Amino acid sequence: MSMTQPQKPTACLALADGTVFYGFGFGATGETQAELCFNTAMTGYQEIMTDPSYAGQIVTFTFPHIGNTGITPEDDETGDPVAAGMVVKWDPTEPSNWRASGELTDWLAARGRICIGGVDTRRLTRAIRQQGAPHVALAHDPDGNFDVEALVASARAFSGLEGLDLAKTVTCAQSYKWGEMRWAWPDGYTKRDTPGHKVVAIDYGAKRNILRCLASAGCDVTVLPATATSEDVLALNPDGVFLSNGPGDPAATGEYAVPMIKEILENSDVPVFGICLGHQMLALALGAKTIKMNHGHHGANHPVKDNETGKVEITSMNHGFTVDSQTLPDGVLETHVSLFDGSNCGIRMADRPVFSVQYHPEASPGPQDSYYLFERFADAISARAS
């Protein structure tokens, strides 16, 4: 059932600079603190909220109509929403989609996510672009009682994402096998039933659709926790190693991930493929540096140029840190760049099948332009075996 906006505000979003937005609350009640970002995707709000890369962040959706396709367990990218909250323009509406099994508002409430609607998201997005991703406090109280000064103080007290290792909070607790492949009509998700390349995937916050894409490309996937050692990886005798997406500051996660990746590169010649945080981990292991972006890239319509082919891909992105291309060492090539701001979007070693991209070739949500990267990884494994 569609909600009607109450006369008295029942939610409050306070920015660390003292700016306050009032609106109507939905989802869970209570208060939370996080970094605020905006996402420009028109669809896929469920996949976005369950993307582990959004840990520690509240998502502002620039598209005004959120919730109109409902929710379905098939679209979860992990077990529960990971984003701390949601900011939208219009009331989430009653779902109208044949796949819907429930309503967004009920789903968020059951999973403890605090949300606010009725906000001028265009104004809020401009503020984020101009000032950088702010620290915020978001409160939902059905009675509309807010201590604004305390909320602003809470926003200012938020430590931020710099220096924060969040991969450990979203990674798997133990290793597991993955065989589910990409969704396809009419059977939906199906399982691999033939042997494939043995790939070890390091889970810094892996989305399910990344693992599905690996399986669909011919890989027999074993997932290991973020803190896995090179001994753990090599003990499985992999044909290839995959480094997943994830949240937080890459320099913090890199304290344990980078030595592991260096040891893999030194002690094995297997192909290595990284996405998002995995891209940043590989870059750090190869000697580059990462930096915090002003407001990051979050959306499903980001143009990326392949420097080696001249091809332009429309991609999904979700990152607040980036690899500093000026710090790439000799022997490491910049393969892809953002056509929005020229930031680095891909690297590869000149003499080995070791490569990574900043964007999300698995989409979910987003375009399918970049799926070929999974096939490139599988082809590199096949070439090594031949």
Q: What is the pLDDT of residues 310-344, one digit of tens each?
A: 999 999 999 999 999 999 999 999 999 999 999 99
CATH of the domain at 133: 3.50.30.20
Q: pLDDT at position 91, please?
A: 84
| Residue at 360 is within a domain | yes
| 6 pLDDT more than 60 | no
> Residue written as tokens 């000149």?
350
Average pLDDT over residues 185-210: 95
Claim to verify: residue 229 and residue 153 sit in the same structural domain: no
- Of 26, 20, 31, give the one whose Cα is nearest residue 5: 26
Considering the domain architecture, whether residues 149 and 215 belong to the same structural domain is answered as no
Residues 223 and 320 grouped into a single domain: yes
Residue 272 belongs to a domain: yes
Could you tell me which residues come within 8 angstroms of residue 15 by beta carbon, excluding any fewer than 6 positions away?
21, 36, 127, 134, 135, 136, 152, 155
Average confidence (pLDDT) over 266-294: 98
> Do 187 and 120 sit in the same domain of this protein?
no
Segment 90-120, tens digit of pLDDT? 989 889 999 999 999 999 999 999 999 999 9
Percent of the chain with pLDDT over 90: 96
CB 209 within 8 A of CB 178: no
Instruction: Check residue 118 and give its pLDDT.
Output: 96
The answer to whether residue 272 scores a pLDDT higher than 50 is: yes
Domain with 101 in it:
11-157
DSSP annotation of 71 reads B
Model confidence band, residue 2 (pLDDT cutoffs 50, 70, 90):
very low
Look at residue 386 in the predicted model and tell me its pLDDT. 82
Residue 265 sits in a domain of what CATH number?
Answer: 3.40.50.880
Residue-averaged pLDDT of the chain: 96
Would 277 be classed as within a structural domain?
A: yes
The reported pLDDT for the residue numbered 5 is: 52
Based on the fold, state whether residues 180 and 114 are members of the same structural domain.
no
Residue 282: pLDDT band with limits 50, 70, 90: very high
**193 & 269 share domain:** yes
Residues 6+ apart with CB under 8 A from 24: 3, 5, 6, 9, 10, 11, 91, 116, 117, 118
Task: Specify if 109 maps to a domain.
Answer: yes
Q: What is the pLDDT of residue 385?
A: 87
Q: Which residues does the annotation mark as catalytic?
A: 276, 360, 362
Domain end marker among 125, 157, 189? 157
184 plus 153 within the same structural domain: no
The pLDDT assigned to 7 comes to: 79
Q: Quote the pLDDT of residue 266.
A: 98
Tokens representing residue 274 in the block: 């990284």
Q: Which of 157, 190, 224 is a domain's end point?
A: 157
Q: Domain ends where: 157, 182, 206?
A: 157
pLDDT confidence band for 31 (50 / 70 / 90): very high
| Residue 224 placed within a domain | yes
Total structural domains within the chain: 2
Contact (Cβ atoms closer than 8 angstroms) between residue 58 and residue 36:
yes
- In the predicted structure, residue 4 carries a pLDDT above the cut 90: no
- Distance of alpha carbon 336 from alpha carbon 274, whole angstroms: 13
DSSP string, 121-151: HHHHHHHHHHH-S-EEEEEE-TT----HHHH
